Amino acid sequence: MEKAPRSLVLRATPFFCLLLLSLLYTVEIRSRQVPSNQWKKTYPVESRIQDQNHLDLVLERLLEGDSQILLEANGFACHSDIHTEVCVSNRPVRIDTSTMTVYAPFSEGMLGASRTMSPYARKDDEVAMARVSPVQILQGSVIAPPACRYNHDVPAVVFSTGGFAGMFHEFNEVIIPLFLTTRHFQSRLSFIVTDYRPSLVDKFDKIISHLSSYEVINPAENGNVHCFPGAVVGLHFHDNLAINTTVVPEGDSMLDFKQFLRDSYNLKIQELSQTQTEKPLLILVSREKSRAFLNEHEMVTMMKALGFRVVVAKPHMMANTENFAKIVNSCSVMVGAHGAGLTNIVFLPEGAVLVQVVGLALEWPSTHYFGTPAPGMGLNYIEYKTEPEESSLISRYGRDHPVIADPASINAKGYQFYRAAYLIEQSFNIDVVSHCVMVLDSSWTCCKKNPDGDEGYYPALSTGMEGDGDDDDGDYDYAPAASTEDDDDNDSGFDSTLAA
Positions touching ligand NAG (CB under 6 A) are 239, 244, 246-247, 488, 490
Cα 266–Cα 267–Cα 268 angle in degrees, nearest 5 = 115
Cβ count near 32 (within 10 Å):
6
- Which amino acid appears at position 38 of this protein? Q
Closest separation in Å from C-beta 489 to ligand NAG: 8
Helices (H) and strands (E) in the chain, counts: 20, 16
Closest separation in Å from C-beta 376 to ligand NAG: 8
| Residue closer to ligand NAG (CB basis): 118 or 492 | 492
Cβ partners under 8 Å of residue 189, min gap 6:
154, 155, 156, 157, 182, 211, 212, 214, 232
Closest separation in Å from C-beta 269 to ligand NAG: 27
Cβ count near 84 (within 10 Å):
23
Task: State the Cα–Cα distance between residues 45 and 188, nearest whole angstrom.
Answer: 13
| Residue closer to ligand NAG (CB basis): 239 or 383 | 239
| Residue closer to ligand NAG (CB basis): 355 or 377 | 377
Closest separation in Å from C-beta 175 to ligand NAG: 19
Task: State the Cα–Cα distance between residues 117 and 123, nearest whole angstrom.
Answer: 10
Closest separation in Å from C-beta 487 to ligand NAG: 9
| Residue closer to ligand NAG (CB basis): 53 or 246 | 246
The dihedrals phi and psi of 368, each to the nearest 5 degrees, come to -75, -30
| Residue closer to ligand NAG (CB basis): 216 or 247 | 247
Q: How far is CA 228 from CA 107, 117, 152, 281, in A?
A: 18, 19, 5, 48
| Residue closer to ligand NAG (CB basis): 25 or 39 | 39
The dihedrals phi and psi of 247, each to the nearest 5 degrees, come to -105, 150
Closest separation in Å from C-beta 246 to ligand NAG: 5
Closest separation in Å from C-beta 346 to ligand NAG: 18
DSSP state of 51: S
| Residue closer to ligand NAG (CB basis): 422 or 457 | 422
| Residue closer to ligand NAG (CB basis): 81 or 468 | 81
User: Over the range 334-366, which residues count as b (16 or more CB within 10 Å of their CB) and which as e?
Assistant: bbbbbbbbbbbbbbbbbbbbbbbbbbbbbeebb
Closest separation in Å from C-beta 491 to ligand NAG: 8
Task: State the Cα–Cα distance between residues 342 and 257, nearest whole angstrom.
Answer: 17
